[in-house]
Amino acid sequence: MSQARLMDGTALARRIVEETARKAAELTDRTGTAPCLATVLVGEDPASVTYVRMKQNRCRKAGIDSRRVALPAETTTEELVGTLRSLSQDPSVHGILLQHPVGEHIDERAAFEAIAPEKDVDGVTFASFATMSFGLPGFVSCTPGGILRLLDAYDVDLAGKRAVVVGRSAILGKPVGMLLLARDATVTYCHSRTRELSSVVREADVVVAAVGRPRLVRGQDIKPGAVVIDAGYNEGNVGDVDFDSAVERASLITPVPGGVGPMTIATLLEQTVDAAARQLGV
Amino acid sequence: MSQARLMDGTALARRIVEETARKAAELTDRTGTAPCLATVLVGEDPASVTYVRMKQNRCRKAGIDSRRVALPAETTTEELVGTLRSLSQDPSVHGILLQHPVGEHIDERAAFEAIAPEKDVDGVTFASFATMSFGLPGFVSCTPGGILRLLDAYDVDLAGKRAVVVGRSAILGKPVGMLLLARDATVTYCHSRTRELSSVVREADVVVAAVGRPRLVRGQDIKPGAVVIDAGYNEGNVGDVDFDSAVERASLITPVPGGVGPMTIATLLEQTVDAAARQLGV
């Protein structure tokens, strides 16, 4: 059997970001206001600092202003909720991103729910999860949304297909399953308690691995010709899929890095500009 | 093979309602305030009028006050939202039920979202759907919640089992799947676009039929020994499962009527008293 075709998230993300930058420039021209993303960081976790800086750089390149809100590690839930409520009411901020993790002592869910749904460009609120699940207009979680864009770009027909999602996190596994279901796939959720994972995965026309366990899904688990999306990221640029064996069985597969990863931030930027357009009445 | 054991929803619901009535009486004694459910009905659809009256009767018998809000068929979305917001703020109302359907001209989702989550004893808001999905404290949709109670009462172990949900409605299929997933089942959603439905259902240790198509699931589709929950209700007391053939293959099965049906209202009453207890600070 021939090797799978690679799904090039880097190239697709670049096209989306270029289009987003055009929209941002047009919006700024028309309204005199640039789209603005507020990034909220609690503490100084080095990885989080790096992520936030990277997101700000990407914003700047796309013509999106970013406002960096850095709070000390000892910030309380009440203080964080207050900050997010203020940003939600601030007309000069169009999108809000709360960088995960916020620290053990903070009620992260209470913080997420303080983000106004119309500024929830990272798709973390209850309202965004529900609109994703019910196929209603709203913002999507960025990685799940990026995965659907990637499937569309490669003309993967989902209706009636069997999709298996390995992982059930609030931000990745659960919403990506709901988005696939809204596109008429027959969706199965697997997780750490699933028995005979290999045989369940082998039923899938589309596999999404989103669990954070290196090389959990192996080539022998994949139905020949299936589409394989690796949304895992583990140390050393290793995904949740054993790429070398999977590439021999799949018809389409995302590499790690360069597959799902770049789509996440492209979706964030795109949703920020969409949020700004709506709030600015364009 | 011997016939399946029947899951007696009528008897279980009676026990839950008795326990709920005891809690309601105790709450009324302690606080001087009886739990109160507001039922909101738009128009005069005869079936809806009957349902609301039945729910009110059941409330009364359980020591729960009910406040009937009857609005004319020509009520606008704005008016309905206004009514639901008032009830959400009214401290003498502890639970709110908006009777479905509300009429084509009304934005039902906007109406649901006007119900305060702490009074959403019917589990229809985005917030309730998300808390069900994430395994967080909150109210459940009544039929899905009742189904889980029934499974628990018959000691059905869900962890690691394959569950197949046929149907993906916002109020039944999607939330019951999420509740099963939160209990560590490996969950598959099927629907009208699913191919080879029979063979997918045949994988299931637990089948939930929740689609509203008479006798869609037949005995031959059921893995011998599976647990079969029929949440369908079609004209003439017919469920979504072909009972006569399914009873020969299943180990446990819900009859229609007398299976899932009685559990729905029991869950509504129970959640109303829970809501009142929380709001009254008991």
Residue B167 annotated in ligand binding: yes
Cα–Cα distance measured from residue A69 to residue A84, given in angstroms and rounded to the nearest whole number = 10
Nearest Cβ partner for B160 among A134, A186, A194: A194
Chain A residues within an 8 Å CB radius of B195: 160, 186
Q: What average pLDDT does chain A have?
A: 97
Q: Dump pLDDT digits (tens) for A25-67.
A: 999 999 999 999 999 999 999 999 999 999 999 999 999 999 9
Q: What is the pLDDT of residue A247?
A: 98
- pLDDT of A246 strictly over 80: yes
Interface subset of A 117-146, CB within 8 angstroms of B? 126-127, 129-131, 133-134, 136
When pLDDT is averaged across residues B115-135 and rounded to a whole number, the result is 97
- pLDDT of B198 strictly over 90: yes
Q: Dump pLDDT digits (tens) for A193-239.
A: 999 999 999 999 999 999 999 999 999 999 999 999 999 989 898 99
- Residue B116 binned pLDDT confidence (cut-offs 50, 70, 90): very high
Residue A169 annotated in ligand binding: yes
Chain A residues within an 8 Å CB radius of B131: 126
- pLDDT of B40 strictly over 90: yes
Which token pair is A240? 């949740």
Q: What is the pLDDT of residue B2?
A: 80
Cα–Cα distance measured from residue A3 to residue A249, given in angstroms and rounded to the nearest whole number = 7
ipTM over cut 0.90:
yes
Q: Which domains does chain B have, with CATH numbers?
A: 32-116 (3.40.50.10860), 141-261 (3.40.50.720)
Share of chain A above pLDDT 70, in %: 100
Chain A residues within an 8 Å CB radius of B191: 181, 184, 186
Q: What is the pLDDT of residue B251?
A: 98
Q: Dump pLDDT digits (tens) for B84-95.
A: 999 999 999 999
Cα–Cα distance measured from residue A173 to residue B128, given in angstroms and rounded to the nearest whole number = 19
- pLDDT of A1 strictly over 90: no
- Residue A2 binned pLDDT confidence (cut-offs 50, 70, 90): confident
CA neighbours within 13 Å on the CB side: how many for B106?
27
Q: What is the pLDDT of residue A233?
A: 84
DSSP string, chain B: -PPPEE--HHHHHHHHHHHHHHHHHHHHHHHS---EEEEEEES--HHHHHHHHHHHHHHHHTT-EEEEEEE-TT--HHHHHHHHHHHHH-TT--EEEEPSP--TTS-HHHHHHTS-GGG-TT--SHHHHHHHHHT-SSPPPHHHHHHHHHHHHTT---TT-EEEEE---TTTHHHHHHHHHHTT-EEEEE-TT-SSHHHHHTT-SEEEE-S--TT-B-GGGSPTT-EEEE---BTTTB-SB-HHHHTTT-SEE--TTTSHHHHHHHHHHHHHHHHHHHHTT-
Q: What is the pLDDT of residue B49?
A: 95
Q: Dump pLDDT digits (tens) for A111-146.
A: 999 999 999 999 999 999 999 999 999 999 999 999
- Asked if B188's CB is within 8 angstroms of A187's CB, the reply is yes
When pLDDT is averaged across residues A153-181 and rounded to a whole number, the result is 97
B90 included as an active-site residue: no
